[in-house]
Amino acid sequence: MGKRYYCDYCDRSFQDNMHNRKKHLNGVQHHRAKKAWFDNFRDSAAILHDEQEKKPCRKFLQKGLTWSVNCPIIFKHLNIRNYM
């Protein structure tokens, strides 16, 4: 079957070759999982500050509060009380 690569951030494994590993490590799912992992160790006030600095996305400004996972500005549309 061959060697398998296990990603600790995403909790998944796949065949270990250069193409698959590069595709996974550059993928959106991996970047979001890695950010979520490191955010666990950050101070809540620092996370809140970073999120307040972000501009709302165009879809949010046009349609209002219709948050989705596909929004590139993660957590911007959430209520600030979630971080306190």
Largest CA distance in the chain: 50
- Mean pLDDT over each residue of the chain, to the nearest integer: 79
pLDDT surpassing 70 at residue 33:
yes
pLDDT band at residue 71, thresholds of 50, 70 and 90? low
Helices (H), 28-83: 28-39, 44-53, 58-63
* pTM for the predicted model, two decimal places: 0.57
CB 72 within 8 A of CB 57: yes
Would you say 50 and 10 are in contact if contact means Cβ atoms under 8 Å apart? no
pLDDT digits 0-9 by tens, 39-54? 889 898 888 888 888 7
What does the alpha-carbon distance between residue 25 and residue 54 come to, in Å, rounded to a whole number?
25
Q: Quick one: which H or E segment has residue 74?
A: none
